[in-house]
Amino acid sequence: NIKRWLMVHKYLPLFDSGDPEHFRYACPVNPFSEATEESIWFGSALFQFNCKPYRYKKIGQMAQLYQNTDQIPLLNPGAVYSCPTLELQSVGDITIACAGKIMSLMDTSGTIVIDTENKLIYDKNTFANLANCNATDEFIQLEPGRNTITISGEVDQLKITPNWRTL
């Protein structure tokens, strides 16, 4: 598994035993420089990574399910804003507001995923890009401290992965 992970040239989670509550997104720079075999079972190597600037809280990667979607209070424990991922089952036009940012989605149907960090909106089942349904081109974010996500429109169910992060 480690070899496969090191051969991929994209950002993936990197966990550090020195910081058990967080992880970083890292990409290997030169995966197999200076590898030495010490015995049949052990070896050592020097690995270098490019890391994204944020550390992400592991607990912030757990999705929370909400049935009542009118107003959802969330507390961002970090010192920087986070970019949540929202998964909602909806029909028709909906509006999502938080911290002064408003997203208006038009003509939704089915299970929609809104990845605010990567600025993506897609159908969960077909992975079809639904960027054209975002009438405002504005994506919400969760500011440090208390936040309230307000949703209007016909939303049956909402899952929020807050993606809490820190520097």
Say if residues 86 and 116 touch (Cβ distance below 8 Å): yes
Q: What is the pLDDT of residues 18-60, one digit of tens each?
A: 999 999 999 888 756 565 666 667 777 777 889 999 999 999 9
58 secondary structure, DSSP code: G
pTM: 0.82
Spell out, as residue ranges, where the chain has pLDDT lower than 70.
1-2, 31-40, 128, 130-137
d(CA 90, CA 95): 11
Task: Identify the pLDDT of residue 55.
Answer: 94
d(CA 51, CA 25): 6
Task: Identify the pLDDT of residue 65.
Answer: 92
